[in-house]
Amino acid sequence: MNYSIPFDRHRRLRKTPALRSMVRETHLHKEDFIYPLFVVEGKGIKNPINSMPGVFQFSLDELKKEMDEIASLGIRSVIFFGIPDVKDAVGSEAYCATGIVQKAITQTKEQYPEMVVIADTCLCEYTDHGHCGVLEDGYVNNDESLILLAKTAVSQAKAGADIIAPSNMMDGFVATIRHALDEAGFENTPIMSYAVKYASAFYGPFREAAQSAPGQGDRKAYQMDPANRLEAFREAESDTVEGADFLIIKPALSYLDIIRDIRNNYHQPIVAYNVSGEYAMVKAAALNGWVEEEKIVMEKLISMKRAGADMIMTYHAKDACRWMSEGK
Ligand code: PBG
Ligand code: ZN
C-alpha cells in the first residue's frame, strides 16, 4: 500500500446510527403524505380491491371510521376518487352537487376541518365509456371536455375541497379551471395539477378500484408517451403559465428522472404520485415473502423525495406512518 496517495474514508460518516442520521440528506415526514381514497354510494360498504391489498372502496359511513384511523395515524391530507352508481356519456355525476365525491368532501371537512381535502378532477370514473372527457367519433373532444371539467372543479370547491387536482390531461385544463374557480368566488382554492402524466400500465389496479377502465381504446391520445422527457417540460411550462400551484408527476418510480428534471426547473411544490401498480407489485411480492415490505416501501418513498418530490401521494401512507411512529 502506498500511503503517500490520500484517499477518502467515506465510511467514517457511516460508522454508527447516530452519525448516519446526522448526515442524512433526505427525510420523510408524515405531512409529506397524501392518502388516496375511493368512495361509493350505499351503507356499510368496505369493498376490498383485489389487486391492491389493504385498499378499499368505502361508503360514507365506513369512510367516517376510516378517517378516524387516518387522522390518528398522523396523515394530514387525503385525495378522493368517487365511483357513482350511475354513469353516462357525459359523466353527469362528476359535477352533481349531491355526487358521491361532493358528499365525501363535505362530510370529511365537517369531521376533520384541519384535514387537507383534495378532489381529483376527472370524468373517467363517471363516464360509461371510461374516458377522461367526452367522446366524439371515438376521440376525446378537448374543448367540450374542458367545460364539464370546469363545472366539476367548481362543484368540488363548493362542497368544501381545499385543493382541486385535475388529472384529465386535456389541453388548457388549468387555465379553464382557474378561470371557473375565480368566477365562482374560489380564487383562493389552489390547483394541484397532474401536469406530467404518462399513459402508463402502472394504473391498472386503480382502474379496478375506480371502475374506470376505458371500454374501448386507451388513453394514449391524451396522456404522455413514456419515452418522452422534453415533453414533460412543455407540459410543466404550460401548466405553470396557466397558474398551477402544485405540479404532480405520475407515475413516480419509473419516472424519478422526470421528477428531478421538473424539480430543477420549476419552483412550485412537486408531488410524486406513487401509483396503484407500483403499490400492487410490492404488496404481491411482500405477501409471498419475497421482499421485506417495510424496508422496500420506505426505500421507495425516500427515493421519491431524493429525486425532488416535496409530497407523495401513496397507498402506503398508513403503513408508512405506523412504521415511522415505531421509530424505525
Ligand atoms: C383519473 C386518474 C387515474 C389515476 C389517478 N387519476 C387513472 C387513469 O388515468 O387511468 C391513477 C392512479 C393510480 O394508478 O393509482 N384520470
Ligand atoms: Zn381520468
**What pLDDT does 1 receive?**
61
CA angle 216, 220, 221 (to 5 degrees): 90
Q: Quick check: is 123 in a domain?
A: yes
What is the DSSP code (8-state) at residue 141?
E
Q: Quick check: is 19 in a domain?
A: no
Rounded distance between C-alpha atoms, residue 234 and residue 132, angstroms = 21
Q: How far is CA 227 from CA 126, 198, 328, in A?
A: 29, 9, 37
**What pLDDT does 328 receive?**
53
The residue assigned the cell 427515493 is 303
- Nine-digit cell at 239? 401548466
Rounded distance between C-alpha atoms, residue 226 and residue 27, angstroms = 28
Q: Quick check: is 300 in a domain?
A: yes
**What pLDDT does 215 receive?**
87
Q: Quick check: is 131 in a domain?
A: yes
Q: Which residue among 103, 197, 283, 300 is the active-site one? A: 197
* Sequential pLDDT tens for the chain (328 residues): 666 777 899 999 999 999 999 999 999 999 999 999 999 999 999 999 999 999 999 999 999 999 999 999 999 999 999 999 999 999 999 999 999 999 999 999 999 999 999 999 999 999 999 999 999 999 999 999 999 999 999 999 999 999 999 999 999 999 999 999 999 999 999 999 999 999 999 999 998 888 888 988 899 999 999 999 999 999 999 999 999 999 999 999 999 999 999 999 999 999 999 999 999 999 999 999 999 999 999 999 999 999 999 999 999 999 999 999 987 5
Instruction: Flag whether 321 is marked binding.
Output: no
Q: Is 295 a catalytic residue?
A: no
Q: Quick check: is 16 in a domain?
A: no
Rounded distance between C-alpha atoms, residue 76 and residue 244, angstroms = 21
Query: Containing domain of residue 173, as a range?
Result: 28-325
Q: Quick check: is 2 in a domain?
A: no
| Nearest-CA residue for atom 8 of ligand 1 | 203
| Kind and range of the H or E run holding 47 | strand 46-48
Q: How far, rounded to the nearest angstrom, does the alpha carbon of residue 98 sit from its chain's CA centroid?
A: 23
CB 16 within 8 A of CB 304: no
Residue 132 CA, closest ligand 1 atom number: 16
- The CA 240 to ligand 1 mean position distance, Å, reads 21
| Nearest-CA residue for atom 11 of ligand 1 | 203
- Nine-digit cell at 41? 354510494
Query: Length of the chain, please?
Result: 328
Instruction: Flag whether 96 is marked binding.
Output: no
Residue 120 CA, closest ligand 1 atom number: 6
Q: Is 301 in the pocket of ligand 1 (CB under 6 A)?
A: no
Starting from the CA of residue 127, give the closest ligand: 2
**What pLDDT does 212 receive?**
87
- The CA 159 to ligand 1 mean position distance, Å, reads 22
| Nearest C-alpha neighbor of 260 from the set 282, 232, 295 | 232
Rounded distance between C-alpha atoms, residue 284 and residue 281, angstroms = 5
Give pTM, 2 decimals: 0.96
Q: Is 124 in the pocket of ligand 1 (CB under 6 A)?
A: yes
**What pLDDT does 83 receive?**
96
Q: Is 197 a catalytic residue?
A: yes
- Read off the CATH number of the domain in which 177 is found: 3.20.20.70
Rounded distance between C-alpha atoms, residue 183 and residue 300, angstroms = 41
Q: Quick check: is 4 in a domain?
A: no
Number of structural domains found in the chain = 1
Q: Quick check: is 10 in a domain?
A: no
**What pLDDT does 9 receive?**
94
